[in-house]
Amino acid sequence: MIAQNRPTLIPGLALCVAVAAVAFGLHTLPALSAFSPLILAIMLGMAFNTLCPLSPSCAEGIAFSLRYILRAGIVLLGLQLTFGQVAEIGAGGLATILLTLLATFFFTRWLGRVMGVPRGLTDLIAAGTSICGASAVIAVNTVTRAREEDVAYAIACVTVFGSASMLLMPLLAPLTPLGPKAFGMWTGASIHEVAQVVAASFQGGDTAGHFGTISKLTRVMMLAPMVLLLGIGTRNRNTGQTTTPAGAPVPWFVMGFVAMVAISSTGWLPPPVVEASKTIDQILLTIALAGMGLSTDLRKLAAAGPRPALLGGAAWLFISGVSLLLITLIQ
């Protein structure tokens, strides 16, 4: 049975890999270097799906990339951070990051309900804004199971507003009372994508870049408990319904993510292995997001209207303001 099914994966997987390869190539261009290969891959996938309707033979391979390759990428993401790094920012910094994350997530959820944005899309925007951008969106969707169009919309929101923070925060820094360490923490506690944090924080110097990166990776570490809690909540919410299955399963691949953090924290892994894992992880996630783009119908994306974008903008302003206020108080 496995031998019979395996060839059907090839067309879709090959297409995802090809789109990912083009995304990596475009990322090397100066005009597009600010956009991660992940973002470029989903944009290319959506464009390809719009211009060239996909053959049904591609469906299984694309689904494989969205399920298994995505989970492998999330597990490997854990090797990029350690528990020791979290300790560097101190108790006050950790409290600031946690409070900012939780306040942003629940504020976005509340505002999405008030604005009438669908719950699944609201949860994706809330996770992408409060935790770690596109990686959080696609990880949370493993338990919320929103439409591919909702995932694409949420990723578009965190890309646009995260890019705005990347450009604006270094310009606003002289107008704030923040020193280099505090400025770095501000970028790490509020900007959506890891690459965007690195680009913004290092404009404040090496100290700012160091603490910006650590603060951001601390937020990434919160991905595991957030996905677990959302998975349990989704399962409990669906259990009493007669029209749906018993609900989303607890995503045990998140345990793999935590295990990788623990392994990384031991210091046993040689630096070349850690660097190689970063490259492999980015390749896996880019292939998965290529599959996400290839599964997205732009017409359904446009039908969602402007309200989710307004929600994403409000969440962006909220996380930027709350994190600035808290970091100003603790520095």
- Give residue 22's pLDDT: 95
Q: Would 57 be classed as within a structural domain?
A: no
Query: Does a structural domain hold residue 55?
Result: no
> Please, are residues 233 and 244 in contact by the beta-carbon 8 Å criterion?
no
Query: Does any domain span residue 302?
Result: no
Domain that holds residue 139: 79-287+307-330
Q: Is residue 169 part of a domain?
A: yes
Q: Are 85 and 188 in contact (CB under 8 A)?
A: no
- When divided into structural domains, the chain yields a total of 1
pLDDT at 239: 53
Residues 230, 140 contacting (CB under 8 angstroms)? yes
| Cα gap 134→171, rounded to integer Å | 25
123 close to 104: Cβ distance less than 8 angstroms? no
For the stretch 250-289, what's the b/e string if a residue is b when 16 or more beta carbons lie within 10 angstroms of its beta carbon?
bbebbebbbebbeebbeeebeeeeeeebeeebbbbbbbbb
Rg (CA), the chain: 19
The pLDDT score that the predictor gives to residue 142 is: 78
Rounded CA separation 76/64 (Å): 17
Helices 148-172 and 134-144: angle between axes, nearest 10 degrees: 150
**Contact yes or no for 281/79 (Cβ under 8 A):** yes
| pLDDT at site 124 | 93
pLDDT score at 223: 82
| Two structure tokens written together for 108 | 């976005």
Q: Answer yes or no: is 226 within a domain.
A: yes
- Quote the CA–CA distance of 280 and 73 in Å, as a whole number: 8
Task: Give the DSSP letter string of 219-239.
Answer: HHHTHHHHHHHHHHHHHHHHH
Domain-located, residue 13: no
- In this structure, are residues 204 and 173 in contact, taking their beta carbons and an 8 Å threshold? yes
Along the 331 residues of the chain, how does pLDDT read in single tens digits? 444 445 588 888 999 999 999 999 998 998 887 677 877 888 898 888 888 878 888 888 988 887 788 788 878 878 877 888 778 888 888 999 999 999 999 999 999 999 999 988 999 999 999 988 877 888 888 787 777 778 888 888 887 888 788 888 988 988 888 999 999 999 999 998 877 787 788 888 878 888 888 888 888 888 878 887 877 766 655 554 433 333 444 456 667 888 888 998 998 889 899 899 989 988 998 898 888 788 776 666 666 678 998 999 999 999 999 999 999 988 7
Is 282 contained in some domain?
Answer: yes
Residue 52 lies in a domain: no
Q: How many CB atoms lie within 10 A of CB 115?
A: 13
Q: Please list the alpha-helical segments (H only) found in the chain.
A: 2-27, 37-51, 59-64, 70-77, 83-88, 90-115, 119-127, 134-144, 148-172, 180-190, 194-201, 206-221, 223-239, 253-266, 271-294, 298-303, 307-330
Structure tokens, 111: 């505002």
Residue 71 identity: R
